[in-house]
Structure 1
């Protein structure tokens, strides 16, 4: 019966948008987090045609009272297993971890994304319109590590695969951009996988990058069996080529300050683009991260030293990184069940000193820019509506999303959980 509820949800259709909607008197927040009070937002046939105070309302438009409401771009969750994992304890529903020693870099989770996942409506009802589906790279709090598992075992692949960007609208294909880069752990987890030493994990990584460069220069000979043996399969070599060429970043899950310094050094030596994930001790090397121009994706509420490599985690990490000039992107638990709580992470960052506008940008405009999400992450005239109308301050836990638009289409806010509640309360 529970599975039947999921099937019913998959059939829920959004409101198709051949109409004009005018939200009047709302506070408008753009992708940089700047707020404009008493704005009018006009959406015609799914396209934003006006977003400013005093905008003229077309005749026949459906009027929506916006007084006391806040309209933001759709929110991003920048590291999640949403769409590739339903229940962590049921391995048949878990596609977030591909433990195959011959195919690791080439693991592309976009092929496993389930647009009918019951977690997608749950996230969407929380104002999430975009998510980065991240392979099983652990944050400092152990996200993406399931019960009975530990991060990093000998013989596990060093690389974890290629993140993908999805939208959360009701559609048969929600993959926006596959193969954003390559994800891998760095530090404790990588050391364990490599055989016990951080230094060994770095040596293995550098050897793999050298193999990719040699392969790129000798493809003809490789196809004829005329090259030396490589540490990676052909599929993995091909998948790493964009990283070696500087066309795509490495997403490094790195936590300890010393390991962050090594990651920055590695990027200089190998001429790599980096995105740091976790970075719980990032505040200790904030100036160096800023000088390198490397963005960070962090979970602000991680502050308990659950692992030795995050002994110095603190709740004002986001604020200190922001103050140093680092491009900070905020995310929440990688567990898709909690994707809708990313705004609470932003609220915590504000409570511990991050400017409010920067925190809002860190869950809207900044991730949109980093992941190449086009017009998502902003409310722009002439672009499809990808926005949320909130009942008040979106950083307040008791405030709910009242209307959500994805790619110009207003979405149902009904979830499987709500459907079950309604079903059984009637009995």
Structure 2
């Protein structure tokens, strides 16, 4: 058993223990509280966290880690399959390389899990996976897969296919092609259900089966949207087909907060620690997160690694707090909110008995730039110790 004691334990469940403990057994959080009788348990390792902050491991809710690898160039670039605008059958899991150096950067920053998948050059880019950041075999790092279906609106698919001189080159055709794909998927689902009821043979279709978790409400559409019109189009189509949706980037979300709140969909905001190098992000600002959150919309914050490097996730949350996001919401935006939006809060995102023992220990508030990560623990194992570096 691993014992963390005497630290400021921020559970992200509404409780903070100023001098608390976390007891870990068999990769899970076993006990949390103010006091512990250490003699009752067979403790193999103790971390004295006096003067330190103990949080659930941080979560990056939208990135391309291991898919767009650092230092590799074309050989390590697998983010976008830019020949066909509709590729729902592509699985990000098949391209994530755990040897990408960015995984080490994530661990050293207290980031213990990420949502990773294809980019935004296609209308339908493929399937995301939610994974831990420590490991060598990607299959053993998986928490949820598939975890979301990537779709994209606006400048990215328009620009890519305009260069190829093929559709889509307008927002109208992006929406139309997505509707057509969803319509065909829904027809496939209906036919499969009808065949089962009538006990008739049914021919499986590889390009349609991947839509069933989306249509059944098991995973959301993960929509790349920046401008207000694209945000509203994504909401409109999700409502038409009665689907779950996350609004990723949501750069102009602060301009239409009431419409987003009415939709009921959450927003994953960022990256903001980058230049306004595209037309559709000219209104990008760190104040976005606070304005959207203060309107009653659940938010997470993203670096969109490698657009911004993944280790700056807590700093991005800190800048959002500086610009109006409440402090507690800033911490939630990189822990429990991220977990809930990514549909994995049963396992990660807070320090709670029964959840995965993913813990990050800092020498202060992780959203402050001078704060150091002292320990990172994943599945109950210390995978980073600053004192041993």
Q: CA deviation at 1:368?
A: 1.4
In the TM superposition, 1:28-427 aligns within 5 A as 28-32=9-13, 35-44=16-25, 46-58=27-39, 61=43, 62-87=45-70, 90-101=73-84, 104-137=87-120, 152=121, 157-172=122-137, 173-192=140-159, 193=161, 194-218=167-191, 234-299=205-270, 301=272, 305-335=276-306, 338-373=309-344, 374-413=346-385
CA 1:241–1:63: 2 relative to 1, 3 Å: closer
1:139-183 per-residue CA deviation (whole Å, 9 max, x = no partner) reads xxxxxxxxxxxxx5xxxx421110101102235321222111210
> Secondary structure, in 3 states, of the residue corresponding to 2:66?
coil
How far apart are residue 384 of structure 1 and its match? 3.9
1:69/1:92 Cα in 2 relative to 1: closer, same or farther (>3 Å)?
A: same
Q: Distance in 1 between matches of 2:136 and 2:74?
A: 25
TM (norm. structure 1) is 0.79
Deviations along 1:344-401, whole A, 9 cap, x unmatched?
Answer: 1111111011111111111111121222323211111344421011112211222211
Whole-Å Cα distance in 2 between the matches of residues 383 and 23 of structure 1?
18
Distance, in Å, in 2 between the alignment partners of 1:102 and 1:158 is 5
Quick check: which one's strand share is greater? 2
Secondary structure at the aligned position of 2:309 is classed as helix
Identify which range, 41-50 or 363-372, moves more after superposition.
Answer: 41-50
The 1-side partners of 2:36 and 2:151 are apart by: 48
Aligned residues of 1:27 and 1:38 also touching (Cα < 8 A)? yes
- Measured after TM superposition, the shift of residue 210 of structure 1 is 1.3
Separation of aligned partners in 1, 2:214 and 2:230: 20
Instruction: Tell me how far apart the structure 2 counterparts of residues 290 and 55 of structure 1 sit (CA, whole Å).
Output: 43
How do 1:14-33 and structure 2 match up within 5 A? 19-24=1-6, 26-32=7-13
After TM superposition, the score normalised by the length of structure 2 is 0.86
